[in-house]
Structure 1
């Protein structure tokens, strides 16, 4: 059972256990593992506005990278994390990693300085990038295994990729926010990036990954735990019903 706590009297978080590890879901969508001094974030999608424009899409305000880096800097400062783990899709593609504006690239390098930095490969950024740090397919530490995409049957797994969102009715109005999803075996982080969509928590994609005891931690200040609803039937199942 989790509990709400105040982190250094600055940042509210929601504490919970996963296979023996004491973790904290932060309002930003980051995960902090205090015993390891590790801050994990997933799906930053840095450079997304540039990538969309490069491929002939809509011209979005090019501020998402700065907003994402500002939140990441705040989380690093508050937690004092010794290790930062980026859980895949840190960049919207490999060209976006190479094409960050100089001031944003320097900002990222300043955040990396003086601490261990782990880049987990994602489906958007499947190869090494020019920045420092360690580039890994996955990372195991203590009872936890960190990878980009969840694998059915895994235990102690922390992943991203799906950009989960919770949707509730509040005062007759629908409210949708990014969320963590977890049960006794695994945890899926929300997308941390500023320009990222989401997959509703009852989507059929989550059915093979979570049991009936799964819960969501909806982002807010502080984050709030909620029971996860059952997954909807997949479209092909509805067709043949």
Structure 2
């Protein structure tokens, strides 16, 4: 379980470049596309806490409010024309029933500020249709495809996805540091999970080997105060 940091554009890394576009990797885990005035987030998993509580695993019931609060802050700072959530925005098919009225109001307010698109995911194949915005299986931004699950093997088109919740680990001064990250080989870009109650999958795992078959990619690790670009060869498997 991880908690998203406060949003901040500070970065020690160059922008992520994808299909001729410069993309801004934010400390929050959001991605901004300045040329297209588009803000992209992945894997909000709203109401994950209440889903666990229903199964007898009691977590503090504040994840949805914290996630939406962070999303409001990032949106207010970048002022996007379009806001895209790359699937698994809701933790399960009954998340809508458990949303607090204040969280419903927050979502609707966001959808009034900009054009909001809910990409369907494996957790929310039918996102709620009464919260504003539009629902789509995929979305195209010029020549870039936005989808929930990354494709594998030879890349046939440039894409941005979520689903895998990437994290990376490095050793610094004898201490292992493990952080959420953006990961890209220049053809595919996988975003970190944005939700407050989301775990992570190491980018050196087999699942990512299928997404980046050459084994060569770059991660933009989210530090406490900045985002850092590192080549895959500098990483350590975090287990």
CA contact (8 A) 1:204 1:231 kept: no
Q: Which moved more, 1:135-144 or 1:148-157?
A: 148-157
Q: Which moved more, 1:203-212 or 1:119-128?
A: 203-212
Aligned to 2:197: 195
Q: Does 1:218 align with 2:221?
A: yes
Q: Does 1:67 align with 2:69?
A: no
Return the offset for 1:18. 0.4
Aligned to 1:238: none
Partner secondary structure for residue 118 of structure 2: strand
Structure 1 moving runs of 4+ over 6 Å: none
CA contact (8 A) 1:178 1:198 kept: yes
Q: For 1:182 and 1:27, how far apart are their aligned partners in 2?
A: 17
Return the offset for 1:231. 10
Return the offset for 1:155. 2.4
5+ unaligned residues in a row in structure 2: which ranges? Answer: 1-6
Aligned to 2:131: 131
Return the offset for 1:154. 3.7
Partner secondary structure for residue 124 of structure 1: coil
Return the offset for 1:19. 1.1
Return the offset for 1:94. 1.9
Partner secondary structure for residue 175 of structure 1: strand
Please show how residues 66-215 of structure 1 align to structure 2 within 5 Å: 66-129=65-128, 130-152=130-152, 153-210=155-212, 211-215=214-218
Return the offset for 1:174. 1.6
CA contact (8 A) 1:42 1:86 kept: yes
User: Cα deviation per residue 1:115-140 (whole Å; 9 max; x = unaligned)?
Assistant: 10000000000014131211000001
Structure with more relative contact order (C-alpha pairs < 8 Å, separation 6 or more): 2
CA contact (8 A) 1:154 1:186 kept: no
Q: For 2:97 and 2:125, how far apart are their aligned partners in 1?
A: 14
User: Cα deviation per residue 1:32-67 (whole Å; 9 max; x = unaligned)?
Assistant: 00111000000000100001112x231000111111
Aligned length: 224
User: Cα deviation per residue 1:153-198 (whole Å; 9 max; x = unaligned)?
Assistant: 2421000000000111122222111000101111000000010000
CA contact (8 A) 1:82 1:116 kept: yes
RMSD: 2.0
Q: For 1:229 and 1:166, how far apart are their aligned partners in 2?
A: 11
Larger Cα-atom Rg: 1
Partner secondary structure for residue 53 of structure 1: helix
Aligned to 2:39: 39
Q: For 1:117 and 1:154, how far apart are their aligned partners in 2?
A: 27
Structure-2-length-normalised TM-score: 0.88
